[in-house]
Structure 1
Amino acid sequence: MSADRTFFDDLAVGEVQRSRTLTVDREAMLDYARRYDPWDFHVDEEAAAKTHFGGLIASGGYTISLSYILGHETMAKAGKPWAFLGGFDWQLKFQKPVRAGDSLHLTDTITELTPSRKGGRGIVKFRREMWNQDGEVVLSIDIVGLVAATDA
């Protein structure tokens, strides 16, 4: 087994990993929305001001993309990435809008570990939360995935 990975056996229920803080870049946010999700509240400042959001907000797809960037950091315990085999269930909630200039970080909290009956891997349930500068959760995802075990 490779010593440069974190395996199922290395994980613990209740363990929390935290990412660095990332600032939402206005131009990157707008570029994403123009290309993939051009609703007015994502791309038109004037129109967005008239919505219940009161201004531009990031696309959900862009917010999820930021969670991927930061998630690679949270899933690298002590600099060793999880031996992640893939995710197969997501329960996602957009809890607050994300805006240009927001400072975001991510936490992953392991909630359940179940060894696979097939051996060589385990089922990991964890909650991913993205937090803004005001300590508010803007995105939460309950994730179920597979991680290789050391006996793989």
Structure 2
Amino acid sequence: MPYWQDFSVGQRLSFGRYVVTREEVIEFARRFDPQPFHLDDDAAARTHFGRLAASGWHSCAMAMAMIVAEHERMDAIGSLGSPGIERLRWLKPVYPGDVLRCESEVLEVRGSRSRPEMGAVRSRLTVLNQHDEPVLEQEPTVFYRSRPA
């Protein structure tokens, strides 16, 4: 589905597989979110997490890795980036050993009035763990090229 015209409201996709490793959780946290419950087992055990937990921003980054891999799989050369995310919620902690996947539903598809060479697709993306529990939900808008005339 490389062009915005190839998407339709209600369309659903299920994709991705990302194994969360302890090393990656700690490395990401050291660089970008150095809170004790992302870095240290004892500190994490004293919180509501109960054990080492991935940063929410790391969860977003893992979701993005799965999205990019899916775009590559679909040969979605029409993707032109995103103007942003309207809604982002971290629903459950992500732990080392979790296996994540994505489900998306298209909410809106529209061509650009000012830039006819592109359009926008807004969707709801849910990241689930190996127990099919939602851990993250967001509503991104992504720009795609228009189908050539």
Q: Same fold (TM over 0.5)?
A: yes
Residue equivalent to 2:109: 113
CA contact (8 A) 1:85 1:146 kept: yes
Deviations 1:12-48 (A, max 9, x none): 2212222232210111111111222111110110011
Q: Structure 1 pair 100/108, CA: closer, same or farther in 2 (3 Å)? A: same
Q: What secondary structure, in the 3-state scheme, does the structure 1 residue paired with 2:16 have?
A: coil
Give the TM-score, by structure 1 length. 0.88
Supply the AA of the counterpart residue of 2:143: L
Q: In structure 1, what is the equivalent of residue 84 of structure 2? A: 89
Q: What does residue range 62-81 of structure 1 map to in structure 2 within 5 Å?
A: 62-76=58-72, 79-81=74-76
Secondary structure of the equivalent of 1:20?
Answer: strand
Contact 1:16–1:107, Cα closer than 8 Å, also in 2:
yes
Asked if 1:36 corresponds to 2:32, the answer is: yes
Q: In the alignment, is the contact (CA less than 8 A) between 1:123 and 1:146 conserved in 2?
A: yes
| Deviation (angstroms), 1:79 | 2.5
Per-residue CA distance 1:38-76 (angstroms, 9 max, x = gap):
111101100110111111110122111101110113335
Gaps of 5+ in 2: none
Q: Do structure 1's residue 134 and structure 2's residue 131 form an aligned pair?
A: yes
Q: Which residue of 2 aligns with 1:9?
A: 5
Is the contact between residue 103 and residue 133 of structure 1 (CA under 8 Å) also seen in structure 2? yes
Letter in 2 for 1:92: L
Per-residue deviation, residues 109-151 of structure 1 (Å, max 9, x unmatched): 2111111112121121111111001111111110122111114
- Give the number of equivalent residue pairs: 147
Q: 2:16, 2:67 within 8 Å by CA — same for their partners in 1?
A: no
Q: Distance in 2 between matches of 1:32 and 1:84?
A: 26
Q: Please, which runs of 5 or more residues in structure 1 have no aligned partner?
A: none
CA deviations over 1:58-114 (Å, ceiling 9, x no partner): 0122111101110113335x6321511221121211111000000100122211111
